[in-house]
Amino acid sequence: MTGELGWVPPEIDTTVPNPARVYDFWLDGDHNFAADRALGEQILKIMPGVRDAARLNRAFLRRAARFMVDSGVRQFLDIGSGIPTVGNLHEIVQQADPSCRVVYVDREPVAVAHSELLLQDNESCLVLQADLRDVDDIFDGAGKLLDLEQPVGLFMLLLLHFVPDSWDPMGVLARYRDRLAPGSFLAVTHVAADSGTERLDEAIEVYMSRQGRQNQPVPRTHDEVLAFFDGFEVVEPGVVGCAMWRPEGAGDMSDDPAINSLPYAGIGRKP
Ligand SMILES: C[S@@+](CC[C@H](N)C(=O)[O-])C[C@H]1O[C@@H](n2cnc3c(N)ncnc32)[C@H](O)[C@@H]1O
């Protein structure tokens, strides 16, 4: 299903698969095209657990958002937010407290177009189209809705593995950290290089062969993901397999231990 096609910007080449829409397909969303589904299916044949990994990542999003609300945060910045699907950040936090404000950022026009459509009547949400490296533009835009003197919950879920080392991800993260007020939180999930998931390299090879060079995933080890929290105090239980971050029930886990650890997850607090 491609849903109503009114949300597809005319400049989009829907014959080239795109990470946001392939991920939407794995989550059973309806904002993907034949090319996205073909690639999604091809990867599922190599690594059937990837669909579960996407679901576990969304479950972590829910727990992380609630944790931040419980810690007093009422404003959120979600970078690489993707195509809205069930259980979006604003739904989770505004259910906990309707005064919560959320800024969504993605560089992918379809994700932005659909987010704008979904949120057009929600005055507590804003959508920006930007690359995560446009830190100043993002904070300028976010500042129209958020009080940047107050703590912010910054989400970067399944995003940083699209950032090659040549972009200096540590440097980019330091720029975010420097702009955040003390008491802010950073939540990260990231494809693990060392989870023991079988055929991950093969799946990535197929993924890369079908997409533009700008979307090549770079899995990283536990220590490399932990290093992204430089300058933050990592909250318990640390950087762990996504399913092991304070699971609340069986639905937050997979039967396959490798899939439970395929995305690493962690939350850090800026002192
Ligand atoms: C796998 S999706 C994750 C969506 C959502 N964060 C989640 O975890 O459910 C990755 C998203 O990151 C976006 N993305 C990738 N590289 C980006 C960049 N350099 N700047 C902004 N967004 C980016 C993609 O367009 C895509 O929507």
- The type of residue at 13 is D
From the alpha carbon of 108, which atom of ligand 1 is closest? Answer: 25
Q: How far is the CA of 245 from the centre of ligand 1 (A)?
A: 21
Distance between CA 136 and CA 148 in Å, rounded?
A: 12
Q: How far is the CA of 107 from the centre of ligand 1 (A)?
A: 8
Protein residue closest via CA to atom 5 of ligand 1: 81
Distance between CA 20 and CA 158 in Å, rounded?
A: 10
**Which has the closest alpha carbon to 101: 39, 151, 169, 51?**
151
From the alpha carbon of 131, which atom of ligand 1 is closest? Answer: 20
Instruction: Reduce the DSSP state of residue 115 to 3 states and report it.
Output: helix
Q: How far is the CA of 80 from the centre of ligand 1 (A)?
A: 3
Ligand 1 is surrounded, with C-beta below 6 A, by 19-20, 23, 57-58, 80-82, 106-108, 111, 131-132, 157-159, 162
Task: Please list the residues that pair with 188 across neighbouring strands.
Answer: 156, 266
From the alpha carbon of 54, which atom of ligand 1 is closest? Answer: 9
- The type of residue at 270 is K
Percent of the chain whose pLDDT exceeds 90: 74
Give the CATH number of domain 5-269.
Answer: 3.40.50.150
Q: Which residue has the tokens 């080890």?
A: 221
Instruction: Tell me the per-residue pLDDT of 168-195, one tens digit each, with 9 for 90 and over.
Output: 999 999 999 999 999 999 999 999 999 8
Cα 167 to its chain centre, rounded Å, is 18
Highest-scoring range by mean pLDDT, 35-44, 80-89, 107-116: 35-44
Task: Please report, to the nearest 10 degrees, the dihedral formed by the alpha carbons of residues 84, 85, 91, 92 taken in order.
Answer: -120
Distance between CA 137 and CA 129 in Å, rounded?
A: 10
Instruction: Tell me the per-residue pLDDT of 49-88, one tens digit each, with 9 for 90 and over.
Output: 999 999 999 999 999 999 999 999 999 999 999 988 768 9
Instruction: Enter the tokens of residue 40.
Output: 């999604």
Instruction: Tell me the per-residue pLDDT of 131-153, one tens digit each, with 9 for 90 and over.
Output: 999 999 999 999 999 999 999 99
From the alpha carbon of 82, which atom of ligand 1 is closest? Answer: 27
